[in-house]
Amino acid sequence: MPSSLIQKYMRLSHLPTIWCPGCGHGILMRDVAQAIENTGLPRHKVCIVSGIGCSSRAAGYMDFSTIHTTHGRAIAFATGIKITRPDLHVIVITGDGDAAAIGGNHLIHAARRNIDLTVVVFNNNIYGMTGGQYSPSTPTGEFGTTAPYGNIDRPFDIARLAAGAGATYTARGTAYHVNETIEAIQNGIEHTGFSLIDCYSVCPTYYGRKNKKGNSINLLQWQREHGVTTKRAAQMNGSLPEGTYLVGTLTQDKLPEYTAQYQKIIDKCQEEKR
Ligand code: SF4
Ligand code: MG
């Protein structure tokens, strides 16, 4: 992370992070900080909410109004904050397990309501902090401590899940594609409505080791080789090679935002009281 971003946005007393050497979460946290910087928003207008897991440590390191909540409930806390302070830009930093397993119900209903939150998923395809259990985004056939013979579940594509539930901005980021990921997070913050940026992270300690995929460099190389930016995809007329995935904006829509609708109800009630 550039030292200017560290000085400006990190709680220096909390550094260094507890993340393992080679973890992708530090890169993604930098992307969130850079995206906030690019929006020009003053610090006091940004609130960062996290749940539980390796990803969710980010809220402790970032020097904003932050809240590190309970497992799976980050979006529920963020909803409460946004309803009471619609002027704030509320960013949720969560993991694949936190967002799509324990917090799956909060995720789909916040998306359905189109409440103006920006959810950034640090998706490492596994439960890192609790010891490498398979998660809702572990690919079929891959391994975790709770899937020693291979995972038989089909994984969620968390961005598609959110879009299907009603999110009005979805995007894919990765730890490798820094510029595209920063742009997607910035788009999400500037978008009015529920936005989710599903960012592939790298977890060499559990996901890489359990699946014999090598170290952090090997995992980042895989992201480079399989991620196709929307710019490149446009040159391919949208037909992606087998086994690759799109990086950048996936879906975008303009629909009424929840807190604005809620304010109309408040106004109506107050009108009737007079
Ligand atoms: Fe990162 Fe994995 Fe280590 Fe957690 S366990 S800090 S996700 S490398
Ligand atoms: Mg995870």
- Block mean pLDDT (10 aa), the chain, length 274: 92 97 98 98 98 97 98 98 98 98 98 98 97 97 97 98 98 98 98 98 97 97 97 87 96 98 96 89
**CATH code of residue 161:** 3.40.50.970
- 108: tokens are 């789909």
Protein residues with C-beta less than 5 angstroms from the ion ligand 2: 95-97, 124
Please name the residue whose Cα sits nearest to atom 5 of ligand 1.
Answer: 128
> Which ligand 1 atom minimizes the distance to the CA of 201?
7
110 CA distance to ligand 2 centroid (A)?
A: 20
Please report the sign of the dihedral spanned by the C-alpha atoms of residue 145, residue 148, residue 153, residue 156: positive
Domain that holds residue 137: 3-273
This prediction's pTM: 0.97
> Which residues surround ligand 1 with Cβ inside 6 Å?
19-20, 23, 25, 54, 124, 128-129, 203-206
How far is the C-alpha of 29 from the C-alpha of 52, rounded, in Å?
Answer: 15
- 176: tokens are 């490798």
At 239 the pLDDT is: 84
Specify the number of domains making up the chain: 1
Residues forming a β-bridge with 248 = 172
At 153 the pLDDT is: 98
260 CA distance to ligand 1 centroid (A)?
A: 38
Ligand nearest to the CA of 25: 1
Residues forming a β-bridge with 173 = 199
251 CA distance to ligand 2 centroid (A)?
A: 23
Decide: 206 and 126 in contact? Cβ < 8 Å: yes
Say how far residue 208 (Cα) sits from the centre of its chain.
20
Ligand nearest to the CA of 216: 1
128 CA distance to ligand 2 centroid (A)?
A: 6
Ligand 1: residue of 29, 50, 54 to mutate (most ligand atoms within 8 A of CB) is 54
Please name the residue whose Cα sits nearest to atom 1 of ligand 1.
Answer: 23
88 CA distance to ligand 1 centroid (A)?
A: 30
At 273 the pLDDT is: 87
**Other beta carbons less than 10 A from residue 105's beta carbon:** 11
How far is the C-alpha of 120 from the C-alpha of 203, rounded, in Å?
Answer: 17
Strand order in the sheet with 117-123: 65-68, 46-50, 89-95, 117-123, 195-200, 169-174, 245-252, 227-229
At 237 the pLDDT is: 79
- 34: tokens are 């850079």
174 CA distance to ligand 2 centroid (A)?
A: 14
